């Protein structure tokens, strides 16, 4: 049996990750115009969903062409040809899907789709040849993002010529109004060669039998790795109903290193590998699925229906381009004896609440009255669940990216929700700006001669008003109080100013000009200001060379301060290493501080300075630059560029304020973050990020807002999108239906449209979860700079 499996897998592995390639914009658009089919006007405003993102980058929009499923658990497929023949790299996926209508989406790459129709029933298959899963999205789970410098290689001589999108419509009650669905995914592609190539390693049990009533049944998989080194950055688990926990490990010299462990009854996302794991020649990859046969009256076998079972452990990895293999599989247990030493955690089920099961599987039967009590949530819990489906992405049509700005140090929103930018004009903060005692050394330049405070229309970036000329030397922080006054800091002057929106002179000045200090009357490079809308109290973070928060009265009288320099070892509560940004949370009477060099957020009670809690995540990296709060319970933050050898990228974060949990992360499509320095978010979840090195401001918006808008670029109208994921499935490749049907006790049902690449598909209304997590864990990035 093992020999047969290996032979079939060899045939299957002939295929590589196929996708798409690009040349120049004109050739792309010409070819795509000739090749694409017309789409419903409700979906895309054009039949050419390609948009230029620069000289070498493109976005390809792949959408269902306005479909209305007729019954629940319908699987529909559609294909899109590659825009050009040249080799290219898929570096990001952006989903457009609502959990109200779509259960999950899979995106495949292949050379020949199963149909030439605008769309078709996926029972006909996805591809006539072999296919690779490139992406997956599922309801109730966050999306996945490839690490920086990593891409799926597509097009060229070996890449596929088509993408095939499969959408599973679970509960179609949302289609009672007969509307047309345009769910799909937008790909970000680049013609620039990526040094690291992404791939998928699938560990899968093919022979597990679960006896009825058996309390614990283990399915073990293990293979020796015989290729060039690969680096693991994300994992995904999959079983059906009986699975309790799935764990994956690298075993080297008898030592077990955890890759990932998760309950398959939770949203089956691609979760980040928390600690970097590399796999080298002759290591062993091992996985265990723990099942329970309780409640079953007959044996349960591996199969494609919800009454069968599966034991799958997926690993996303990257390899050096010259050695890259896009897909690998392990279906055997090469060393059963080794599992006597598997860590005990692999045998411990992960408990899942019943209401979470309901959310994960997307059942469309009504909730019984007996279940209502367990589903009643507090207001905060309701907000948390809503936040879990929140996703933002760059508003690529916003022209503000083209503004000519100096170093952008501060952002705020005024009372009319206009964007206010604080920038440094022709001044820069560099290694010559200060001496060892923090005294500014470039006074001879005089103050900045340009207007440093710009008020912009948040939709068009049109300049509405400007001020701040000849007042500042090195602007830094900006906030706006409930009366519309500007509060700003200048790190060269070591001062804090209150300005009226039209005032030529400050209404209030704190600190002594050009004199650094640490007493009640002096600051040392103060970074930010926050004003309590209820009491009018003023809070100043001070700063680069002090480690404290100072509270002043509304008219500038010193009240109190707290904080101290970080001691050796782990930073304790109330200790700072550059308190860099402030966010006042009036809903909870708290002040949150971006403790920059400690890579964390600290929150304190207003008025007392009492420490409340710390928010710290590995994905923050070493530095957390800025934090902002939006009414409704969302906290936004941006981190710094990673240090050499570190993996966490510069990105934005969306968090649930109550729990500190990361709900979403975001990066730009146009350009890249160089040093994101400040972030501000509005109540409608529009987010702006200012970058001090890129000298620009990005706009991001929630996909709920962007979903029904179209943008025009290069003469092509493209509808913007909603969530995203990555996966595979298809009619080609190793067909498990043919294989299992020849073995006693196995049902062929459900396998005819199931391959190794797509072995997650189920046709039962009570099961089926495919998803992934939006995650970013790049290889060693460029060295950071500081300002």
Residues annotated catalytic, as ranges: 103-104, 166, 168, 238, 240, 310
At 371 the three-state DSSP class reads helix
Using CB atoms within 10 A of its CB, is residue 607 exposed (0-12), middle (13-18) or buried (19+)?
middle
Is residue 423 marked as binding?
Answer: no
Q: How many H-runs (helices) and E-runs (strands) does the chain carry?
A: 7, 50
Is residue 238 marked as binding?
Answer: yes
Is residue 103 marked as binding?
Answer: yes
Q: Answer for the pair 624, 652: CB distance below 8 angstroms, yes or no.
A: no
Is residue 168 marked as binding?
Answer: yes
Is residue 411 marked as binding?
Answer: yes
489 bridge partner residues: 496
Round to whole Å and give the CA distance between 545 and 494: 11
Is residue 240 marked as binding?
Answer: yes
Using CB atoms within 10 A of its CB, is residue 229 exposed (0-12), middle (13-18) or buried (19+)?
middle
Is residue 706 marked as binding?
Answer: no
What does R_g of the chain's alpha carbons equal in angstroms?
28
Is residue 476 marked as binding?
Answer: yes
Round to whole Å and give the CA distance between 290 and 264: 10
Residue given tokens 């292949």 in the structure block: 110
At 427 the three-state DSSP class reads coil
Q: What angle do CA 724, 726, 727 make, to 5 degrees?
A: 145
* Dihedral sign from CA coordinates of 334, 338, 343, 347: positive
Supply the DSSP symbol for 127: B
Is residue 544 marked as binding?
Answer: yes
Q: Encode 148-181 in three state secondary structure.
A: CCEEEEECCCCCCCEEEEEEEECCHHHHCCCCCE
Is residue 478 marked as binding?
Answer: yes
Q: Where are the beta strands (DSSP E) in 39-87?
A: 50-52, 57-63, 74-81
Round to whole Å and give the CA distance between 166 and 139: 14
* % helix, strand, coil for the chain, step of 5: 10, 40, 50
Is residue 580 marked as binding?
Answer: yes
What would the two tokens of residue 563 be?
Answer: 């904080």
Is residue 596 marked as binding?
Answer: yes
Round to whole Å and give the CA distance between 363 and 34: 42
Q: Specify binding-site residues for a protein.
A: 424, 544, 596
Q: Specify binding-site residues for Zn(2+).
A: 476, 580, 677
Q: Specify binding-site residues for Cu(2+).
A: 103-104, 168, 238, 240, 310
Q: Specify binding-site residues.
A: 103-104, 168, 238, 240, 310, 411, 424, 476, 478, 544, 580, 596, 677-678
């Amino acid at each position: 049996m093992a020999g047969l499996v290996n032979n079939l897998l060899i045939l299957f592995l002939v295929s590589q990750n196929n996708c798409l390639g690009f040349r120049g914009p004109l050739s792309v658009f010409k070819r795509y115009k000739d090749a694409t089919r017309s789409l419903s006007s409700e979906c895309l405003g054009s039949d050419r969903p390609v948009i230029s993102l620069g000289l070498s980058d493109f976005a390809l929009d792949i959408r269902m062409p306005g479909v209305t499923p007729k019954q629940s658990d319908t699987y529909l497929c559609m294909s899109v040809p590659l825009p050009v023949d040249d080799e290219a790299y898929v570096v990001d996926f952006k989903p457009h899907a609502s959990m109200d209508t779509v259960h999950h989406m899979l995106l495949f790459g292949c050379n020949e789709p199963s149909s030439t129709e605008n769309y078709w029933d996926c029972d006909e298959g996805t591809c006539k040849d072999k296919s690779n899963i490139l992406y997956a999205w599922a309801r109730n789970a966050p999306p996945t993002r490839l690490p920086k410098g990593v891409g799926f290689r597509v097009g060229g001589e070996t890449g596929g010529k088509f993408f095939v999108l499969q959408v599973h419509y679970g509960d179609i009650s949302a289609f009672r109004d007969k509307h047309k669905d345009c769910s799909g995914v937008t790909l970000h592609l680049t013609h620039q060669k990526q040094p690291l190539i992404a791939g998928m390693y699938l560990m899968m049990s093919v022979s597990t039998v679960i006896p009825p009533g058996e309390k614990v049944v283990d399915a073990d998989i293990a293979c020796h790795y015989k290729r060039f080194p690969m680096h693991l950055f994300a994992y995904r688990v999959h079983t059906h109903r009986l699975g309790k926990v799935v764990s994956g490990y690298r075993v080297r010299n008898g030592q077990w290193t955890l890759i990932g462990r998760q309950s398959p009854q939770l949203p089956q996302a691609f979760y980040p590998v928390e600690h970097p794991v590399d796999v080298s020649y002759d290591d062993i990859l091992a996985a265990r699925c723990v099942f329970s046969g309780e409640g079953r009256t007959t044996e349960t076998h591996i199969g494609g229906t919800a009454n069968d079972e599966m034991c799958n452990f997926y690993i996303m990895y990257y390899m050096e381009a010259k050695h890259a293999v896009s897909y690998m599989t392990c279906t055997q247990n090469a060393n059963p004896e080794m599992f006597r030493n598997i860590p005990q955690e692999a045998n411990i089920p992960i408990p899942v609440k019943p209401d979470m099961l309901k959310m994960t599987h997307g059942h469309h039967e009504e909730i019984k009255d007996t279940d209502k009590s367990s589903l009643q949530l507090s207001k905060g819990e309701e907000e948390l669940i809503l936040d879990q489906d929140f996703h933002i992405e760059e508003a690529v049509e916003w022209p503000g990216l083209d503004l000519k700005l100096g170093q952008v140090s501060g952002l705020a929103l005024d009372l009319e929700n206009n964007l206010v930018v604080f920038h440094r004009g022709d001044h820069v903060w560099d290694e010559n700006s200060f001496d060892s005692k923090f005294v500014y050394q470039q006074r001879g330049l005089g103050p900045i001669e340009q207007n440093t405070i710009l008020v912009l229309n948040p939709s068009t970036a049109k300049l509405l008003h400007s001020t701040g000329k000849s007042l500042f030397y090195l602007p830094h922080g900006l906030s706006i109080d409930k009366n519309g006054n500007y509060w700003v800091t200048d790190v060269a002057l070591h001062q804090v100013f209150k300005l009226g929106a039209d005032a030529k002179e400050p209404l209030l000045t704190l600190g002594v000009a050009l004199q650094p200090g640490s007493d009640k009357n002096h600051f040392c490079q103060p970074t930010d200001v926050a004003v309590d809308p209820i009491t009018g109290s003023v809070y100043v973070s001070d700063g680069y060379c002090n480690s404290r928060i100072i509270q002043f009265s509304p008219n500038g009288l010193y009240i109190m301060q707290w904080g101290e320099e970080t001691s050796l070892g782990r930073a304790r509560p109330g200790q700072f290493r550059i308190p860099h940004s402030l966010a006042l949370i009036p809903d909870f009477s708290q002040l949150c501080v971006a403790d920059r060099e400690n890579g964390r957020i600290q929150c304190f009670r207003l008025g007392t300075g009492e420490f409340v809690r710390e928010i710290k995540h590995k994905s923050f990296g070493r530095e957390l630059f800025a934090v902002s709060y939006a009414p409704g319970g969302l906290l936004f933050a941006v981190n710094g560029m990673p240090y050499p050898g570190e993996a966490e990228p510069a990105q934005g974060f969306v968090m649930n304020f109550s729990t500190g949990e990361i709900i979403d992360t975001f990066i730009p499509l146009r350009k890249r973050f160089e040093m994101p320095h400040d972030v501000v978010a509005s109540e409608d979840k529009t987010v702006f990020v200012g970058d001090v090195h890129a000298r620009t401001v990005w706009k991001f918006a929630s996909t709920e807002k962007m979903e029904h808008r179209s943008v025009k670029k290069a003469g092509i109208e493209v509808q913007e999108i909603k969530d995203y994921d990555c996966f595979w499935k298809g009619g080609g490749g190793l067909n498990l239906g043919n294989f299992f049907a020849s073995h006693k006790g196995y049902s062929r049902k459900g396998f005819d449209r199931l391959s190794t690449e797509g072995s997650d598909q189920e046709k039962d209304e009570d099961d089926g979860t495919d998803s992934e997590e939006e995650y970013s864990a790049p290889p060693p990035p460029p060295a950071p700079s500081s300002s």
